[in-house]
Structure 1
Amino acid sequence: MENRPEITALLSLSIKMHINPTNDPRVYWAREVTFDYATSSAVRVDFMKFKPVNNTVSGIEKGDFYCYEVKSSVEDFHSKNGHNFLGDFNYYVMPEAVYEKVKAEIPYKVGVYVPEKMNYRGAWYDLKSVKKAKRADRERPVSEMLLMMFRSAARERVVK
Structure 2
Amino acid sequence: MSDRKEITKILSLSIKMHENPRNDPRIYWAREVTFDYATANAVRVDFMKFIPKNNSVSGIEKGDFYCYEVKSSAEDFHSKNGHNFFGDLNYYVMTEKVYEQVKDEIPYKVGVYVPDGMNYQGEWYNLKCVKKAKRQDRKRPVSEILLMMFRSAARDNLK
Structure 2 length as normaliser, TM-score? 0.99
State yes or no: 1:114 paired with 2:108: no
Residue 121 of structure 1: how far off its partner (Å): 3.3
Corresponding residue number in structure 2 for 1:39: 39
Residue 133 of structure 1: how far off its partner (Å): 0.1
Corresponding residue number in structure 2 for 1:76: 76
Where do residues 37-116 of structure 1 align in structure 2 (5 Å cutoff)? Answer: 37-116=37-116
State yes or no: 1:129 paired with 2:151: no
Residues 25-45 of structure 1, C-alpha deviations (whole Å, 9 max, x = no match): 100000000000011111100
Over the residues paired in the alignment, what is the CA RMSD in angstroms?
0.6
How many Å separate the matches in 1 of 2:131 and 2:88?
Answer: 15
How many Å separate the matches in 1 of 2:89 and 2:2?
Answer: 30
How many Å separate the matches in 1 of 2:22 and 2:121?
Answer: 11
Runs of at least 5 residues in structure 1 that lack an aligned partner in the other structure: none
Residues 87-122 of structure 1, C-alpha deviations (whole Å, 9 max, x = no match): 000000000010001000000000000000101134
How many Å separate the matches in 2 of 1:100 and 1:15?
Answer: 19
How many Å separate the matches in 2 of 1:62 and 1:107?
Answer: 24
How many Å separate the matches in 2 of 1:155 and 1:19?
Answer: 20
Structure 1 length as normaliser, TM-score? 0.98
How many Å separate the matches in 2 of 1:121 and 1:51?
Answer: 28
Corresponding residue number in structure 1 for 2:143: 143
How many Å separate the matches in 2 of 1:63 and 1:23?
Answer: 20
How many Å separate the matches in 1 of 2:43 and 2:129?
Answer: 25
Letter in structure 2 aligned against 1:126: N
Residues 126-154 of structure 1, C-alpha deviations (whole Å, 9 max, x = no match): 00000000001101000000000000000
How many Å separate the matches in 2 of 1:24 and 1:81?
Answer: 30
- Percent identity over the alignment is 79
How many Å separate the matches in 2 of 1:104 and 1:122?
Answer: 31
Runs of 4+ more than 3 Å apart: none
Matched pairs, number: 159
Residue 22 of structure 1: how far off its partner (Å): 1.1
